[in-house]
Structure 1
Amino acid sequence: MDIRIDSLLGGAERAQGAVIIIDVFRAFTTAAVALARGAAKIIMVGTVEEALRLRDAGLGQICMGEVGGHKPDGFDLGNSPFDASQALLDGTTVIQRTSAGTQGIVAAKQATQLYAGSLVTAKATARAVSKHTPEQVSLVAMGLNGETRTDEDELCAIHLRNLLQGRPGCIAGTRNVILAGPQIPDFRDPAKPHLHPEDLDIAIDIDRYDFAVRITKEDGRLVARRELPHSAG
């Protein structure tokens, strides 16, 4: 298995093989929470307009995501894992648009298998990908707006690489380095209420969930569903 780590939107465009697009703060943590809360699926899109159009057409019930970190006008949920953990989502179709994570999903056109990666699903994602025995795996750390590298996404990529190569990784070390990073004070800043303190707590709760977030094409749309590692097919 040839494992390559890349970054940002360009990395997503270059990625080949089994591709894991990583967005820890906060898109794919939020997506995992939504699926854990019972959402049937998540349609991932690149624009606010497409999200609203799909909901208006009856193809989904909940628009979730952000522009510049903030919930767009007309959206039901922002990009907060904590808010998603409090939402009633059982059986719903969620439509997600974010500035980094879903942009990477849309850009990963060369992927043979595609996953949305975060720390909360790390072990399950590594196991699910390994089940497919891919020759090449691309780990893409999306960073801030797909333009600037961030500690949490780069460290998640390294942690996933270790797991894919059969090493246990270091949960405490990964968490501690992230907690020393420059973005952490933002989650305690009253001037940034869109960044809930519990968003951070959830995002670094490594292996919180026992499923991977697998994206496949359905009727031409990028759709994320839960994939249990032991039943990956």
Structure 2
Amino acid sequence: MSDFRFFTLAESDQVQGDVVVIDVLRAFTTAAFAFEQGTSWILPVSTVDEALALKREIPGALVMGEVNGYKPEPFDLSNSPGALRGLDLTDKVLIQRTSAGTQGLVRAIQAKALFAASFVVAKATAQKLLERQAATISFVITGTSEGRDGDEDLACAEYIQALVQGDDPEPTPYLARVATSTVGREFISGSLGYLLQEDFQLSVQVNHFGFAMPVRSIGGRLVMTSASLEQ
């Protein structure tokens, strides 16, 4: 039986074992939809400057993400799963910079295995964790930043934990917490212009995809890929 541990974004450099970095609203929901549109790799980075420098190095790469919720002018794509639908991203390399999700990935330097996750890939992530049978599984709740409670991410972590433990929980109570979380309430109220109702609805499509999103260090860079349950 695995030992489950939970960390805030600020604590993400302390994680051990297999690490699942969760960002439901919206980074790792957006990443999953990017893979659905054909993206081959996603390169998570910490800063805007890193993202733009990497774009200059990789012909044809696109930069996706946000700063304080909004797409920086030089970026190609925003942090919006809805905005990706209908785009042809076949074989494209995306560089992703966000204020929470990608920060958790780049700080999790002690991870034995690293996954990006959200509700849309929850069951597939749990299956990959089960295959590995790690002694320790650490969840990084990235929504616990900028004064937000992160309960949307904690709910996702607890749902994945239940699946790993062999339960088959009804997802509805976990999904309900997305709407009542700090950022969920901001989506519903429409108080912030960059928070789109479509993105909220896409983010609660539990187990929508049959792949997990492992993240590995290749050549000194973090590389996120999609891994189906057959891989």
Q: Give yes or no for TM over 0.5.
A: yes
SS of the residue corresponding to residue 134 of structure 2 reads coil
CA distance in 2, matches of 1:229, 1:129: 11
CA distance in 1, matches of 2:148, 2:196: 22
Matched residue pairs, number? 231
CA distance in 2, matches of 1:60, 1:146: 33
- Following superposition, the deviation at residue 42 of structure 1 comes to 0.2
CA distance in 1, matches of 2:113, 2:73: 33
CA distance in 1, matches of 2:66, 2:152: 19
CA RMSD of aligned residues (A): 1.7
TM-score by length of 1: 0.93
Counterpart AA for 1:177: R
- Following superposition, the deviation at residue 4 of structure 1 comes to 2.3
CA distance in 2, matches of 1:90, 1:210: 18
CA distance in 2, matches of 1:162, 1:228: 20
The residue aligned with 2:206 is 206
1:191/1:80 CA distance change after superposition, 3 Å: same
- Following superposition, the deviation at residue 192 of structure 1 comes to 2.8
Counterpart AA for 1:107: R
1:162/1:188 CA distance change after superposition, 3 Å: closer
The residue aligned with 1:88 is 88
CA distance in 2, matches of 1:106, 1:71: 20
TM-score by length of 2: 0.94
Counterpart AA for 1:99: S
1:179/1:103 CA distance change after superposition, 3 Å: same
The residue aligned with 1:79 is 79
CA distance in 2, matches of 1:136, 1:4: 6
- Following superposition, the deviation at residue 191 of structure 1 comes to 5.5
- The answer to whether the aligner puts 1:10 opposite 2:10 as a matched pair is yes
Counterpart AA for 1:17: G
- For structure 1, the 5+ residue unaligned runs are none
- Following superposition, the deviation at residue 144 of structure 1 comes to 4.7
Counterpart AA for 1:62: L
State how 1:11-50 maps to structure 2 within 5 Å: 11-50=11-50
SS of the residue corresponding to residue 216 of structure 1 reads strand
- Following superposition, the deviation at residue 190 of structure 1 comes to 5.3
1:147/1:140 CA distance change after superposition, 3 Å: farther
CA distance in 1, matches of 2:197, 2:186: 9
Per-residue CA deviation, residues 138-193 of structure 1 (Å, 9 max, x unaligned), is 11111154764311001111111101101112211112232233433433555533
Counterpart AA for 2:177: V
CA distance in 2, matches of 1:192, 1:10: 24
The residue aligned with 1:154 is 154
- The answer to whether the aligner puts 1:170 opposite 2:170 as a matched pair is yes
